[in-house]
């Protein structure tokens, strides 16, 4: 069976980035037939009034300009839909995710496309996918009360239907860099392909 991975890096650093090293190792471990690469070090546009206006017009009523405004968002969502597994590099900046990753989330979380509202509340539409978060931090312990990055991503991915989420963490590197990275590498070695 064909397996497609969406590989997302969000670190501002091109070299010396622990999260980039970890995502590369995770993707290698998964041995996917197809890898879609999305590097967020070149920032995505932020939502603006034109984008929001276009988003709330029914798809069959959008002007060419409105379709063009949503084209990048549509492309990012297509990448998500195509993927069986999403691997996201998550450096923790000031206890949360990088702004570039937040911009990606804003562009892919679209009512009627990746989630919908029902009588019982919101329902994610991207079910049956797996996500692996490669978390790196200097001082924040992954999963702790001050780790707003992992909790937020678990919530947002679940909101769009991706609930099978695993975390590989090289956290608290300022305390024990070598041990932290080795712990993450050991976790990667245990991931199911």
Res 15: pLDDT: 94
What pLDDT score does 1 carry?
A: 53
In the chain, the domains with their CATH numbers are: 4-190 (3.40.50.360)
**Distance set, CA 75 to CA 23, 39, 69, 70 (Å):** 22, 14, 11, 9
* Per-residue pLDDT at 193: 79
Q: What is the pLDDT of residue 19?
A: 98
pLDDT (tens digit, 9 = 90+) per residue, 90-146?
Answer: 999 999 999 999 999 999 999 999 999 999 999 999 999 999 999 999 999 999 999
Query: Low-confidence residues of the chain, pLDDT below 50?
Result: none
pTM, 2 dp: 0.96
Instruction: For the chain, give the mean pLDDT.
Output: 96
Q: What is the pLDDT of residue 99?
A: 97
pLDDT reported for residue 13? 95
pLDDT of residue 2: 62
- Cα distances (angstroms) measured from residue 53 to each of 65, 69, 103, 108, 160: 11, 10, 17, 16, 21
């Amino acid at each position: 069976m064909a397996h497609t991975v969406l590989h997302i890096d969000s670190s501002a650093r091109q070299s010396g980035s622990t999260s980039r090293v970890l995502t590369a190792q995770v993707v290698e471990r998964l041995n996917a037939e197809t890898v879609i690469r999305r590097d967020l070090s070149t920032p995505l546009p932020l939502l603006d009034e034109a984008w929001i206006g276009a988003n709330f017009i029914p798809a069959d009523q959008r002007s060419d300009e409105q379709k063009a405004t949503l084209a990048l968002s549509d492309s990012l969502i297509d990448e998500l839909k195509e993927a069986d597994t999403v691997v996201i590099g998550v450096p923790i900046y000031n206890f949360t995710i990088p702004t570039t990753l937040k911009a990606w989330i804003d562009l892919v979380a679209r009512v009627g496309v990746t989630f919908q509202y029902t009588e019982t509340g919101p329902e994610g539409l991207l079910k049956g996918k797996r996500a692996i978060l490669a978390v790196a931090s200097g001082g924040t312990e992954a999963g702790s009360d001050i780790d707003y990055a992992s909790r937020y991503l678990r919530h947002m991915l679940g909101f769009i239907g991706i609930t099978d989420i695993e975390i590989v963490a090289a956290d608290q590197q300022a305390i024990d860099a070598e041990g932290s990275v080795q712990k993450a590498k050991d976790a990667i070695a245990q991931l199911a392909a």
